[in-house]
A and B are shown apart, each in its own frame.
Chain A
Amino acid sequence: MATTVIPAARPTFLAAAIREAALAGAVAFLLAFPLLGFALVDIPGGITVAPRFDWVVIATVAVFVGRFLLVLWRHLRPESFGQVFRVPKITAIGPFAVNDVIGWLLAAFAMVLPFLPIADRYIIDIAISVLIYVMLGWGLNIVVGLAGLLDLGYVAFYAVGAYSFALLAIHFDFSFWQALPLAGVFAAAFGVLLGFPVLRLRGDYLAIVTLGFGEIIRLVLLNWNSFTGGPNGISQIPRPSFFGFPFTRTPPEGVTAFHQLFGVDFNFMHRTYFLYYVILGLALITNLFSMRVRRLPLGRAWEALREDEIACRALGINPTNTKLSAFAIGAMFGGFAGSFFATRQGFISPESFTFIESAIILAIVVLGGMGSQLGIVVAAAFLILVPEFGRDFAQFRMLVFGAAMVLVMIWRPQGLVAHREPSIRLKPVDRRAA
């Protein structure tokens, strides 16, 4: 008996691995058959459906092999998975923590990016997109990462900010800088509006209600034709001016343009550079605010609320005010970002504020490692740049995007930067000892 058991030990594992891989392959097959198995082909006089079963086979085999290798790797190197994965507690370069150094380097890089030789129109535009999402990620991080309130409708506040600016500018001739604080106030008010009914909810239930809230805002924008322009959106939103000096080649009579003010030649890139620095500034303000408030009683109460609401109440912390402040402040930064989005695009419509936007922003926060400021930058860059540079893959762009996210979550389930630094220390850390 024993002679048959011992040599069977290894094949048992292989059999289990093959079984698991086969299961994944079967699921892939079921999905690939209808999705990849047929293609629309142009024929003279119309289109027809042509089978494409070789693609189904490729997808199924790829998933089977991938899953098998994953199981094998997990078996051979279990330490590289899950919580056991080495997350350096405090890594140091000289007297600074590694995260701080990376953060400052990134900030410095962002400052000088427009002056670098690689910076053409395309790069700066992508950089602006990344920064918008970084800012949205930092804003949502206040709600999700610090206060622990799972919000799937964050895009609603982005929309409120965008429409606030657009409507104020169209109807009341507000400039971007005049409308910005008001957009923040409106978005914060909507944050409180959402906050009140969900005060008692947590986790999944909260997620569902916030998801519904996001959709409500979108549907209102879509259907209130007389006010929001409905599906046509709002166009002709004024482009930003340099504090009153427009970026135009030939300004109207009596107005000084930016290039005239500084006595330089007109360059259409000036506006792009300006937009870039505006969003960089807004994002940095969001970051500074979050980092600062984390060290204040309000920020600590948010984190405590995330950890244990009942204990918070036993300590005399008002959970209502604490939650509402998190919703309001998070929403406010979403509103700022929305205003910027509106002035940058010059045109907004409800299509820009669909659920997928909320999902991407939430993915940035989760992928970055809940509560980590630096992680959010890395995750935002990842989530915006991968689909962007993945354009070479044409129709497989989103497939690459999905696969990349799956790989990151396998590799670092806690998020890219999972270390949490306490908001206050009794003793300064002797980093060389660490």
Chain B
Amino acid sequence: MKDPALRPPPPGFILEVEHLTMRFGGLVAVDDVSFAARDRAITAIIGPNGAGKTTVFNCLTGFYKPTVGRLALHKDGRTWLLERMEGFRIAQQAGVARTFQNIRLFPKMSVLENLMVAQHNRLMRASGWTIKGLLGLPQYRAAEREAIDFARFWLDRIGLIDKADWDAGSLAYGDQRRLEIARAMCTRPVLLCLDEPAAGLNPRESAELNELLCYIRDEMNTAVLLIEHDMSVVMEISDHIVVLDYGRKIAEGSPVQVRNDPAVIRAYLGEEEREELPPEIVADLTAPGPAAIGPGAVAPVRDEGERQ
């Protein structure tokens, strides 16, 4: 009997999130959220601190088991139900890679080693689960060379080729952010989930990040799901934006639609405070164009769930 959850995907979409709910005891962190992410597109999830964005990510990448919901990922004509999969298999088989709000590199391993670890499954197969590798068979050597070349390609792309043999922990903050993205890309994902990649970056680094994310979308054919507070990133590169507040989806649409949505403005600023804002900010908020809709680049106040 065919599983009804495995119904055929709507064309052009890579990820469907339906009725996702996550409860921690009495706290409802995510409440009946549904959205879909298009293939080869950047979908952003925004919302004030504590809105449940990272919880959505943790459900998608297997760090939490959702209380309710269907998370369907469509890859090569197959549908993977992420809510039923064990954590590491989501990256291994469904091809969902992620980065973390607080960077999680392997700090005492070199930059290149970080990218080699990301290609673990491919290399593990080639090394015949270590046996062929121990014997030094040519098949493994070829696979290793290929993996190094792929790592070299990404190091070149993120400008860290000269620091390939440094300890990852000794890199500058912005370099570490980019390396984490490159490491996620080295798993050859179909969907890349980025948790606040622009946090702590200066404007120039943010601009580089925008370019990198567009490159991933356009050239690597990888869909990007993005949590971000920095509106200069979100508004400029997103194809689609989902707005969460108190665990609920309050708006969804293109950047222009979302920016002018009264519910979004209310969520970010609160109704009463709006009159007290300086007039130029109010003007910014309502004007079209890439302006901030809220307190842009806010440092994350609450880490809602890297832990499990």
**A interface residue numbers (CB < 8 A to B):** 289, 292-293, 296-298, 300-301, 303-304, 307-308, 310-319, 420, 422-427, 429
CB < 8 Å: which of A300, A316, A423, A427 contacts B187? A316
Residue B205 at the A interface, CB < 8 A? no
Q: Give Cα A298–Cα B140 distance, bound, in whole angstroms.
A: 13
Number of A-B pairs, beta carbon distance below 8 Å = 123
Q: A304-B106, A422-B165 are in contact. List 18 more A-B contacts (CB 8 A).
A: A293-B130, A296-B130, A297-B116, A297-B119, A301-B120, A303-B108, A304-B109, A304-B120, A311-B100, A313-B91, A314-B61, A314-B184, A315-B187, A316-B88, A425-B110, A426-B112, A426-B165, A429-B165
Assuming the A-B contacts A310-B306, A425-B165, A426-B164, are A298 and B124 also in contact, with contact meaning beta carbons closer than 8 angstroms in the complex?
Answer: yes
Q: Does A424 lie within 8 Å of B117, measured CB to CB?
A: no
List chain A residues, Cβ under 8 A from B113.
Answer: 300, 303, 422-424
Residue in B closest to A319 when the chains form the complex, CB atoms: B88
**CB distance A426 to B87 under 8 Å?**
no
8 Å CB contacts to A: which residues of B95-153?
Answer: 97-98, 100, 104-110, 112-113, 116-121, 123-124, 127, 129-130, 133-134, 148, 152
Instruction: Check A315 against B123 for contact (C-beta < 8 Å).
Output: no
By beta carbon, the residue of chain A nearest B134 is: A292
Chain A residue at minimum C-beta to C-beta distance from B87: A313
Find chain B residues with CB under 8 A from A317 CB: 88, 92, 117, 120-121
Give the shortest distance, in Å, between A323 (CB) and chain B (any CB).
12
A422:B120 contact, CB within 8 angstroms: no
The CA-CA distance from A308 to B100 in the complex, in Å, is 12
- What are 17 A-B pairs with beta-carbon distances under 8 A? A296-B133, A297-B133, A298-B133, A300-B109, A300-B120, A303-B113, A304-B106, A310-B306, A311-B100, A311-B106, A312-B88, A316-B91, A316-B120, A316-B121, A316-B187, A422-B110, A426-B161
Q: Report the Cα distance A297→B148, complex, angstroms.
A: 12
Are B92 and A298 in contact (CB-based, < 8 A)? Answer: no
CB under 8 Å from chain A, chain B span 218-266: none
The chain B residue with its CB closest to the CB of A315 is: B118
Contact with A along B28-64 (1 / 0, CB 8 A): 0000000000000000000000000000000001110
> Which B residues fall within an 8 A CB radius of A?
61-63, 87-93, 97-98, 100, 104-110, 112-113, 116-121, 123-124, 127, 129-130, 133-134, 148, 152, 155, 161, 164-165, 183-184, 187, 306, 308
Top 6 closest A-B pairs, CB basis? A316-B91, A316-B92, A307-B106, A426-B164, A422-B110, A297-B123
Shortest beta-carbon distance, A174 to chain B, in Å?
A: 26
A414: shortest Cβ distance to chain B, in Å?
12
Residues A297 and B120 in contact, CB atoms below 8 Å apart: yes
How far, in angstroms, from A119 to B103 measured CA to CA in the complex? 55
In whole angstroms, what is the CA distance A311 to B108 when docked?
14
Asked if residues A426 and B152 are in contact (CB atoms below 8 Å), the reply is yes
B92 contacts across to A, CB distance below 8 A: 316-318
Give Cα distance in the complex from A308 to B104, angstroms. Answer: 7
A68 → chain B closest CB, angstroms: 36
Verify A298–B130 contact, CB threshold 8 A: yes
> Which residues from chain A contact B87 at a C-beta distance below 8 Å?
313
Q: Cβ of A307: which chain B residues have Cβ within 8 Å of it?
A: 105-109
CB-CB < 8 A to A313: which residues of B? 62-63, 87-88, 91
Given contacts A297-B133, A310-B306, A316-B120, contact A424 B112 (CB under 8 A): yes
A301 to B87, CA, bound (A): 16
Q: Which residue of B lies closest to A320 (CB)?
A: B88
Q: What residue of chain B has the Cβ atom nearest to residue A371's Cβ?
A: B108
Residues of B within 8 A of A289 (CB): 134
Q: Which of the residues B109, B127, B133, B183 comes within 8 Å of A315, measured between beta carbons?
A: B183
Interface residue from B104, B106, B123 paired with A303 (Cβ < 8 Å): B106
